Amino acid sequence: MKIEVDFDRCQSNAICMQIAPSVFEVREDGYLYVLIETPEESLKPLVEKAAASCPTQAIKII
Amino acid sequence: MKKRCAIVGASLGGFRSAQELRKAGFDGEIVLIGEESHPPYQRPPLSKQLLKGTSPVERCYLRGNISEPYSRKLGVRATSIDPLEKNITLSNDTTVEYDYAVISTGARPITFPKVPPSSRVIYLRNIEDSVRLRDQLKQHVRIGVVGAGFIGSEVAASVSGLVKQVVLFDGDEHPMSKVVGPYLSQTLKTVHQNNGVETVFGAPVSIVDSETEDVVWIETPSQRHPFDVVVIGVGVKPATQWLRSVDSLKFDEVGALLADDKGKVYGAEALYVVGDASSWLHPLYQRHIHVEHFESTVNQASQVAKNITNTPRDAPELPFAWTEQHGRLIQTVGVRMADSKDEVIHRSGHALVVLFHSSDKVTGAAVFDASEELSWAKAAVLSSLRKEPD
Ligand SMILES: Cc1cc2nc3c(=O)[nH]c(=O)nc-3n(C[C@H](O)[C@H](O)[C@H](O)COP(=O)(O)OP(=O)(O)OC[C@H]3O[C@@H](n4cnc5c(N)ncnc54)[C@H](O)[C@@H]3O)c2cc1C
Ligand code: SF4
């Protein structure tokens, strides 16, 4: 599992971070950082939930 | 000799096409031509974060670089194209020859007759328009917004609370119902009203901006309202006028350039179109569809790059759009046909999904404040469109 974020689309509203804080972090500078680009399978449900919840559908799992 | 790809329009569709070409392995020269002098930027924040002042102009600039050989010609307009000779003439009287060309000139706001843009009448499309409006948001200011489509509704929502009065006008009783259906249109109206936006819907509107007066008037047959600033969002028109002299090209009824399902323009060699200027044949709908949203534009850029480089393409995607107003989110997938029968479904909790039915198919759906239901809605549309007729 690999995470790809379209950073142009990201609005830094931190919804993904609330769902999967170990993977997504919106920092003080206002930008989103992907902490683990290839998370373990055990994180898959959370990452999928985060991707589905993103308003602009900026997160893709490949 | 390395090939050259000229891209006309240096915004979302143009810049993404350049990026996708490199991703797909195109190692030729890329020339990006754009009328605006800003670096390539995106527009969604113009009616939201940039307007509210919660993010700076730089935040709109598109991220990433294009590797050499790459040149930008910004602040110049393409004035004509010769698809036989494969060259493009620019407003500075130079020409650019190409092996491939991508048109990504987007769209321009439709203007009211006799109401040109001015310091107090704003048609929102560019960074300058958004900044000009933002700079006028003061507690004593009254703002009239004409047109409750995506952009007008977002502007009204963004400025409410920051000014003395916001009134949203639309000639339609149910604005946005063409895209989201009357049910969600009504829901949105209530959301606006609960958040301090006054609504005047269902009456024809005229605008009077006279130099001799301190205010701009918005008039309906029964009322007359004075405003300090008026924002007009009554739709856009594809920016394809400069292509109209080429007889072999085909345009749809709104003026979008017609292309096949891979973005290749009909009636020209090696010419492609993406974004708001385009109308592509959509294999799932088996007709040409003109979409004016972020997602389609970036998908099309990726598909065109794959087409140019002969890289296998992905399966066709459904159109997708989002809008945020007063902190509420509406997402749409697919399309709502003019004859749609809408089915309102209350999913778990307060989640709301509207399915758009037409000719025995679910052609699209809208999801209200329930992003987690989007994939369900998308699957419903996809499976219905892919189903063979009985
Ligand atoms: C205020 C606003 C808010 C939006 N919000 C959302 C949203 O929340 N979600 C969403 O999905 N979509 C949204 N959109 C729509 C989205 O921005 C567009 O779909 C997208 O910008 C289309 O990209 P494009 O590259 O095709 O066209 P554009 O972004 O319009 O870019 C076209 C560029 O080409 C230039 N150009 C035009 N003619 C010529 C010429 N002859 N020569 C050279 N250059 C030329 C233009 O100046 C412009 O810079 C919004 C649009 C606006 C205006
Ligand atoms: S949910 Fe989407 S828009 Fe929000 S921070 Fe995460 S990726 Fe960005």
What is the pLDDT averaged over residues B158-171? 95
A57 touches chain B (CB under 8 A): yes
What is the pLDDT averaged over residues B93-110? 98
Residues in A touching B59 (Cβ below 8 Å): 30
What is the pLDDT averaged over residues B108-128? 94
| CATH code for the structural domain at A3-61 | 3.30.70.20
What integer best gives the mean pLDDT of chain B? Answer: 94
What is the pLDDT averaged over residues B186-202? 95
Domain boundaries, chain A: 3-61
For B44, the closest chain A residue by CA position comes to: A9
φ/ψ of residue B205, rounded to 5: -120, 135
Domain B111-232 homologous superfamily, CATH:
FAD/NAD(P)-binding domain (3.50.50.60)
The pLDDT of residue B357 is above 70: yes
CB atoms within 10 A of CB B115: 17
- State the pLDDT at residue B176: 87
> How many Å lie between the centroid of ligand 1 and the Cα of residue B352?
30
Q: What pTM does this model have?
A: 0.94
Cβ within 8 Å of residue B40, ≥6 positions away: B10, B11, B12, B14, B15, B32, B34, B61, B62
Inter-residue contact B357 to B363 (CB < 8 Å)? yes
pLDDT digits (tens, 9 = 90+) for A10-53: 989 899 999 999 999 999 888 999 999 999 999 999 999 999 99
pLDDT digits (tens, 9 = 90+) for B127-156: 999 999 999 998 889 999 999 999 999 999
> How far is B271 from B249, CA to CA, in rounded Å?
10
- Report the residue among B35, B37, B127, B272 best suited for mutation to probe ligand 1: largest number of ligand atoms under 8 A from its CB: B35
User: Minimal CA–CA distance to B82: which of B317, B249, B233, B218?
Assistant: B249
The secondary structure element, H or E, covering residue A26 is strand A24-26
Cβ within 8 Å of residue B219, ≥6 positions away: B205, B206, B207, B208, B225
> Could you tell me whether strands B229-232 and B197-201 are parallel, antiparallel, or unpaired per DSSP bridges?
unpaired
Q: What band does B390 get if pLDDT is binned at 50, 70 and 90?
A: low
Q: What band does B256 get if pLDDT is binned at 50, 70 and 90?
A: very high
What is the pLDDT averaged over residues B352-372? 94
The pLDDT of residue B81 is above 80: yes
| CATH code for the structural domain at B4-44+61-108+236-308 | 3.50.50.60
Residues spanned by CATH 3.50.50.60 within chain B?
Answer: 4-44+61-108+236-308, 111-232
Could you check whether the bond before residue B69 is cis, i.e. omega within 30 degrees of 0?
Answer: yes
Three-class SS of residue B88? Answer: strand
